[in-house]
Amino acid sequence: MSRSIADQSVEELGGPGSVLVRQRRDHVQLDRLLHQLDGTTGRAQEEVLTRIDRLVFSHAFAEESVLWPVMRRVLPDGEELTLRIEEEHQEVNELVSELETLGHDDPRRAQRLSRLVEVLNEDVRDEEDVLFPRLQERLGHDELRALGRRWDVVRRISPTRPHPTVSRRPPGNVLSALPLSVLDRSRDVVDAAVRRAPARLAPVGRLVSQGLAGLAGLVERTPPARRGDRPPTSR
């Protein structure tokens, strides 16, 4: 029986540059953030959620663009395995998008937040216990390190916010990656500035952020951004 990558050493996983080590490192960081989220409210909760979003969406986008196509190529059941993870990613996108519209006193917020934590934990376990051990069986250490370099490059230039209408597969996700990444990361800068700005300037920053969000929505709805999608992950 395959061992979870959570129980293996860095050397067993192919060395520090292996995609398995890089993935696990992000999962450890996510686990810390989820523990910080527990029991938070108001502004503190929003700050932790923002850090989770910035980690999760670029991480998942790189998986969908780089790793899952390899899984589908080298594993006979790769289609089934990756579709399950894509469904989890889609639910995360939808939950975060909904949470962004709910006020802190909305009775639905706690339930959606609880489900988000549950899905994120399920995703980590599915990847570490099932998908990645299977990938490890098919690829040598050199291949895992090469894949790790590709995944890390894509992760650094991937969108950082939820985009539930964009395809979870190439070519749609690849075609929309550049414009969405530019818009998302520009919004990240603007939103960070708004939090530090004097109160009289904050409304201007929020208008700029809303404008960037509107442009991202237009990109999401273009036909090329939907290409390659599968029904369980389409919206």
* Residue type at 47 in one-letter notation: E
pLDDT of residue 201: 84
| pLDDT beneath 50, residues of the chain | none
pLDDT of residue 47: 94
Given the structure tokens 């989220």, which residue do they identify? 37
Q: How confident is the model over 202-221, as pLDDT tens digits? A: 899 999 999 999 999 999 99
Look at phi and psi of residue 170 and say left if phi exceeds 0, alpha if psi is from -120 to 50, else beta. beta
Q: At a CB cut-off of 8 Å and minimum separation 6, what does 128 contact?
A: 4, 5, 6, 23, 24, 27
Q: How confident is the model over 66-109, as pLDDT tens digits? A: 999 999 999 999 999 999 999 999 999 999 999 999 998 999 99
pLDDT of residue 233: 74
Which stretches of 63-131 are DSSP H helices?
68-74, 78-99, 108-126
Alpha carbons 48 and 34: distance in angstroms, whole number: 8
- Identify the burial level of 183 via C-beta atoms within 10 angstroms of its C-beta, where 0-12 means exposed, 13-18 middle and 19 or more buried: buried
Two structure tokens written together for 85: 């993870």
**What DSSP assignment string belongs to 112-125?**
HHHHHHHHHHHHHH
Could you tell me which of 135, 178, 138 has the C-alpha nearest to residue 156?
178
Contact between residue 145 and residue 17 where contact means Cβ atoms under 8 Å apart: yes
Q: Taking the model in full, what pTM does it have?
A: 0.94
Contact between residue 108 and residue 102 where contact means Cβ atoms under 8 Å apart: yes
pLDDT of residue 225: 92
* Residue type at 55 in one-letter notation: L
State the DSSP code for 211: H
pLDDT of residue 1: 58
pLDDT of residue 45: 95
pLDDT of residue 113: 97
